[in-house]
């Protein structure tokens, strides 16, 4: 009996000590402003609508909808919020007339969340910064760069969106901004469960995700995700630990997946090539110029350490085979601190500074093509 009481007392003392340590750590994390994920709707659900009549596209931006996301301050940046507003034309942009102004220059920019501008205001997105750069080059002409980006899409969906939603705007140039994840997702057969990496399996079991979601935004959350989300909402320490653990487990998984997606004879690579071949055919038939580029993933931005050079060369080779001009955007960001170019500690999308550097870099090849198309060279 004495032994049992001693063991119970020891267990209670241990639990009390753990509670004190956790409370101290929680206070420290809150004082330091760490461990806070962006607040607001998961911007996948409220801003998308199904497009059953175009199965290859699947979803597009929902006309007239809007949302905002608050990014709490951390050790690097003060709190800020980002607003998303979708036009009646299903663009994160202003309204555009299908009738072109005489002498105007028009570019349609296709892409995923990078072109769409996740984590930045519309004015700071790549299409709008490029539009301002081009307007400086052509002061006597009206220059328009339509933001045709849709987050969470791949190359096949982006081409479908151009054919069924954006071709009617009669652009001079289509600029497709590709990223490494664009060889996966819809219209690509999933890998067998046996090919799933151990890090992904652990994330699923523990309910770890890239951000802080609500059941309202993601109604099909698993029980493990619901438990983890509840804990993260009530404890910044838990949020910080879950976020760091997710990154530690999933970054190697993402790297492996991206290499598999772009490997020779992979379904993802075939999808990209077939989609670009279709886009080249459509634009050539309409007398529209086409330019494809690849936006760097904000990883190790050094000449020796960048992990996705093979994907750049693969896309370059596909474009060369199809007779499409290609621009590698990695030189625009080489040598930069990747963390300083990210939206937030919880969001690795490019920020306004990254888009400014890329827009400046892109303005040269795009400007030269528009100059030729306009008869100035």
- Compute the radius of gyration of the chain from its Cα atoms: 23
**Among 292, 222, 270, 212, which residue's Cα sits nearest to residue 246?**
212
CB contact set of 99 (below 8 Å; sequence gap of 6+): none
250: left (phi over 0), alpha (psi -120 to 50) or beta: alpha
User: Is residue 272 within 8 Å of residue 318, measured between CB atoms?
Assistant: yes
105 forms bridges with which residues in the sheet? 143
How far apart (Å, rounded) are the C-alpha atoms in residues 371 and 297? 30
At residue 41, the pLDDT reads 47
Q: Could you state, in order of their start, the residue ranges of all structural domains in the chain?
A: 1-32, 48-188+259-373
Which residues lie across from 204 on neighbouring strands? none
At the top level of CATH, the class of 48-188+259-373 is alpha beta
Cβ–Cβ < 8 Å for 42, 217: yes
pLDDT (0 to 100) of residue 284: 97
- Tell me the HSE value of 222 on the side-chain side, using a 13 A CA sphere: 10
Residue 32 near residue 23 (C-beta atoms within 8 A): no
pTM for the predicted model, two decimal places: 0.84
Structure-block tokens of residue 11: 């267990």
Residue-level pLDDT at 44: 46
Within 10 angstroms of residue 217's Cβ, the number of other Cβ atoms is 15
Q: Tell me, what's the pLDDT at 345? A: 79
Please list the rounded mean pLDDT of every run of 10 residues in the chain (377 residues). 67 66 58 56 68 95 92 76 96 96 95 97 98 97 97 96 97 97 89 58 63 56 73 69 67 74 92 98 97 95 92 98 98 95 88 98 97 76
> Looking at residue 314, what is its pLDDT?
97
pLDDT at 229: 72
Phi-psi region of 151 (alpha: psi -120 to 50; beta: other; left: phi over 0): beta
H helical segments located in the chain: 2-32, 113-116, 126-137, 155-161, 198-206, 223-234, 236-261, 267-285, 309-322, 330-333, 352-373
Q: Is 8 exposed, middle or buried (0-12, 13-18, 19+ CB in 10 A)?
A: exposed
């Amino acid at each position: 009996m004495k032994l049992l009481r001693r063991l119970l007392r020891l267990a209670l003392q241990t639990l009390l000590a753990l509670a004190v340590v956790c409370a101290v750590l929680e206070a420290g994390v809150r004082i330091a402003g760490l461990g806070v994920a962006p607040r607001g709707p998961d911007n996948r659900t409220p801003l998308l609508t199904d497009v059953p009549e175009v199965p290859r596209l699947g979803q597009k931006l929902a006309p007239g909808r809007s949302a905002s996301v608050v990014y709490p301050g951390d050790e690097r940046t003060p709190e800020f919020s980002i607003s998303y507003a979708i036009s009646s034309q299903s663009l994160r942009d202003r309204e555009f007339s299908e009738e072109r102004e005489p002498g105007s220059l028009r570019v349609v920019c296709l892409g995923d969340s990078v072109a769409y501008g996740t984590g930045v205001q519309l004015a700071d997105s790549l299409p709008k910064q490029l539009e301002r750069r081009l307007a400086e080059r052509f002061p006597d002409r009206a220059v328009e760069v339509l933001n045709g980006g849709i987050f969470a899409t791949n190359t096949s969906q982006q081409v479908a969106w151009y054919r069924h939603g954006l071709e009617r705007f009669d652009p001079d140039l289509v600029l497709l901004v590709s990223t490494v994840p664009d060889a996966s997702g819809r219209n690509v057969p999933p890998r067998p469960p046996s090919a799933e990496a151990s890090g992904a399996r652990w994330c699923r079991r523990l309910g770890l995700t890239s951000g802080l979601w609500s059941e309202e935004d993601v109604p099909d959350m698993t029980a493990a995700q619901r438990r983890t989300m509840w804990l993260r909402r009530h404890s910044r320490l838990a949020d910080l630990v879950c976020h760091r653990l997710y990154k530690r487990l999933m970054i190697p998984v993402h790297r492996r997946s991206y290499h598999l997606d772009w490997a020779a004879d992979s379904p993802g690579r075939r999808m990209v090539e077939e989609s670009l071949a279709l886009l080249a055919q459509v634009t050539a038939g309409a007398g529209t110029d086409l330019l494809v580029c690849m936006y760097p993933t904000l990883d190790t931005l050094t000449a020796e350490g960048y992990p996705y050079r093979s994907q750049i060369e693969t896309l370059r080779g596909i474009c060369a085979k199809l007779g499409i001009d290609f621009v590698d955007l990695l030189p625009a960001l080489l040598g930069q601190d990747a963390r300083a170019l990210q939206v937030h500690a919880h969001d690795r999308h490019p920020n306004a500074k990254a888009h400014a550097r890329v827009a400046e870099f892109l303005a040269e090849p795009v400007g030269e093509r528009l100059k030729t198309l306009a008869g100035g060279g």
